Amino acid sequence: MNEPSCSTQTLFQKPSSSVSSTACTSQGKQTHRVAPRTVGPLKYLAMDCEMVGTGLKGSISELARCSIVSYNGDVIYDKFIKPINLVTDFRTRWSGVRKQDLRNATPFSQAQKEIVKIMTGKVIVGHAIQNDFKALKYFHPACQTRDTSRIPLLNHKAGLPVHEVASLKRLTKALFNKDIQTGKGGHSSVEDAKATMELYKVVEEEWEQTLASQPVC
């Protein structure tokens, strides 16, 4: 994947409620959006994506579905997305995506613009979220990203080794005694996004206090 042409200084500048913030896609184009005047819960979104395989034996992961939920778990975006290249492995057992789901799916370029517009200026919560950003060919500011797969405090509350990269399914079971990603129908990105936001809320206060003491982007 080519590196984005946006400079680090541009990509990681702190968004202001009165000036436009800059996001960057891996095609090297800058996408300017006005940062919304949001604080607290209104500023936080959780995202989860499902990928299918393209290329030889489905070895290349491409975006096939993206779901975004609000702080309160309301679905604000959920679409199947047509990959750029021919799908050679739908990975249905894990992705939940079937051939018929992509027949009238939103083209990748259009979906990317829609999703970036929603995320710009927001704090995005996800589990191993860099995989989602990679499939989206997008780079979100690190200071506006919360990855629940790499938070020792969350693992501690779940009774797991603090440096272990625990799965979303395992953390959800440990903390809420709730089963997700069950059955043979594959994952639901809506279910996973909601679960991720609930995990974030468990450590939100302590996590944000820790981040507040660090340099802003």
Start-to-end Cα distance in the chain = 24
Q: Find the mean pLDDT for residues 84-104.
A: 94
Given a cut of 50, whether residue 29 has pLDDT beyond it is no
Q: Find the mean pLDDT for residues 54-74.
A: 96
Res. 16 pLDDT band, cuts 50 70 90: very low
Distance of CA 83 to the CA centre of its chain: 17
> Can you give the length of the chain in residues?
217
Predicted local distance difference test score (pLDDT) of residue 20: 34
Measured distance CA(91)–CA(189) in Å, rounded: 14
Res. 212 pLDDT band, cuts 50 70 90: confident
Measured distance CA(216)–CA(118) in Å, rounded: 22
DSSP-assigned letters across all residues of 22-76:
EEEETTS-EEEEEPP---GGGGEEEEEEEEEEESGGG-EEEEEEEEEEETT--EE
Given a cut of 90, whether residue 24 has pLDDT beyond it is no
pTM: 0.80
Q: For domain 44-204, give the fold.
A: Nucleotidyltransferase; domain 5 (3.30.420)
Res. 40 pLDDT band, cuts 50 70 90: low
Q: Find the mean pLDDT for residues 185-202.
A: 93
- Structure tokens belonging to residue 155: 């693992």
3-class SS shares of the chain: helix, strand, coil, % to 5: 40, 25, 35
CA distances, 203 to each of 60, 146, 168 (Å): 34, 11, 15
Average pLDDT in the chain: 84
Contacts of 208 (CB under 8 A, 6+ apart): none
Res. 183 pLDDT band, cuts 50 70 90: confident
Q: Find the mean pLDDT for residues 78-82.
A: 98
Contacts of 134 (CB under 8 A, 6+ apart): 1, 61
Q: Are strands 20-25 and 138-139 parallel, antiparallel or unpaired?
A: antiparallel
- Structure tokens belonging to residue 182: 């069950």
